Structures are given as C-alpha cells and as structure tokens.
Amino acid sequence: MVKLAPSILSADFTALLADVLEAQEAGAEYLHIDVMDGHFVPNISIGPLVVKALRPKVKMCLDAHLMIENPDLYIGDFIKAGADLVTVHAETGTHLHRTLSLIKGQGALAGIALNPATPPSAIEYILPLVDLVLLMTVNPGFGGQTFIPEVLPKIRAVKKMLEERGLAAEIQVDGGINRETAAAVVKAGATVLVAGSAVFGGRDIARSIKEIRRAAEG
Ligand code: DX5
Ligand code: ZN
C-alpha cells in the first residue's frame, strides 16, 4: 500500500495543528517536515522547535527532511525533538556513512535524499544502512514546483538496486506530486509520496489526500 506524507511547508502556519490533524484523520501515514537553512537551498523554513511542538499531538511518523549543510550538527536535536525519521541529502555529506550511523545510533530511521541531478550510484554502498531513499522530483527549496519527469527512470533504478540486494527500504518521492503525477511514480516504484501544495494548497485537506491516494493506487 502506498503511504502519503503531507508536507507542512504548504500548511497554514497560523492554524498548523488543525491542518496537521485533518491530514492525520484523513489517513496520512507520515508528516513531512521540510527543514531549509538558506545555504544548501535558497530558502529558510523551520527547525526542531516545530517538531517538538507537534510531537505530543501527532501519531503519524514525523519525517524530518533536512535540506541543510553540516547535517551531523543538528541530527541529535531533531531526534530529541521527536523525529521518527531523519533524511539527509547525499550532496551534503563527505562522510555519509558516519552521518547515517549517527541517525541510527540515536534510534531513528535513516533516510538519504538525492537531488534530481544526483545519480543513484552515489548511495550504492550505503544502501544497507538506509531505511528510506528520497528521490527529489523537483530541485529542493520551494513548494508548488513542477514535477520533473526525468526522475522516473531513477525511481526504477533505485527499486532495482534495492531488489538486487534484498533490501526493503522505502522509496519516497518529493516535489510536484499530485493527482496527475501520483500514478506514474508509484508505477515506477515509489512507496511513500510527499505532497505539499496538493494537500494543503486547496480548501479540503481530507479530500485532497483521498484523491491523491485513489490516483496513486490506480
Ligand atoms: C521541496 C520540499 C518539498 C515541498 C513539496 O524543497 O522538499 O517537500 O514541500 O511541495 P510540493 O508538493 O508543493 O511540490
Ligand atoms: Zn521535502
């Protein structure tokens, strides 16, 4: 079954909890939290304080997507704040094995993200450490961008790499996922769909979630 991960980047920050609980009630499995530092990506968003505030109110898997340089410095803060899954970008790490071990050593699930231009070979030798591979389907930094279809063959390639090694990591996609693009990414092998503007951009959050799921499951 496909899992949905609404991204709070497009939520109403003056009514964040109401938006988040509506997504939870509608059956979303993950809550995707986009962390941006103004260096790795040209935008600044939110940090561990928001994870900490949401933690006691939310049952969904709290999924922190770190679009930040030097992620090792902040991993502990996110896990202490209550993140269940911490995803770092392959492009930020000179010692990715160490970074992923840091996450797992503190009891969280470890994710590795690839920008659209980064080949899957960048993560070949660390795949056994990874619980989730995040394939960016836009260039990270902003919500509401257009899906990049050139990533579809990469989803297939990562699925094959995992299968060949007998690994069961999730394949998450992030960026431009909506009713129109969901079926294609799932067909290619995605198991967790992040959606920001397609969930929180409209008036009816629950309905949007159900429609994306219906489209994803064909
Ligand atoms: C982009 C973020 C995404 C973003 C997706 O840098 O990583 O999670 O919120 O937004 P949509 O679904 O609107 O493309
Ligand atoms: Zn994200």
Identify the three-state secondary structure at position 37: strand
Query: pLDDT tens digits, residue range 41-84?
Result: 999 999 999 999 999 999 999 999 999 999 999 999 999 999 99
Work out the end-to-end distance of the chain between its first and last CA atoms, rounded to an integer number of angstroms: 11
What residue owns the CA closest to ligand 1's atom 6? Answer: 140
Nearest Cα neighbor of 41 from 17, 21, 71 is 71
Which residue has 């050593």 as its token pair? 105
Query: What are 112's strand-pairing partners?
Result: 88, 133
Q: Is residue 177 within 6 Å of ligand 1 at its C-beta?
A: yes
Taking residues 111-138, report their average pLDDT.
98
Q: Is residue 116 within 6 Å of ligand 1 at its C-beta?
A: no
Query: pLDDT tens digits, residue range 147-195?
Result: 999 999 999 999 999 999 999 999 999 999 999 999 999 999 999 999 9
> What's the rounded Cα separation, in Å, for the pair 76 and 66?
12
Q: Is residue 6 within 6 Å of ligand 1 at its C-beta?
A: no
- Most distant CA atoms of the chain, gap in Å: 46
Can you give the pLDDT at residue 93? 84
| CA dihedral over 204, 8, 171, 107, signed as positive or negative | negative
Query: pLDDT tens digits, residue range 27-42?
Result: 999 999 999 999 999 9
Can you give the pLDDT at residue 118? 98
Can you give the pLDDT at residue 138? 98
Taking residues 120-147, report their average pLDDT.
98
Identify the three-state secondary structure at position 50: helix
Strands 192-195 and 109-114: unpaired
Q: How far is the CA of 134 from the centre of ligand 1 (A)?
A: 12
ipTM: 0.99
Domain limits of the chain?
3-216
Q: Which CATH class is domain 3-216?
A: alpha beta
Ligand 1: atom nearest CA of 144 is 13
Q: Are 168 and 192 in contact (CB under 8 A)?
A: no
For the chain, give the mean pLDDT.
98
Ligand 1: atom nearest CA of 178 is 12
With cut-offs at 50, 70 and 90, classify the pLDDT of residue 218: confident
Nearest Cα neighbor of 7 from 60, 43, 57 is 60
Can you give the pLDDT at residue 187? 98
Tokens of 216: 């994803």
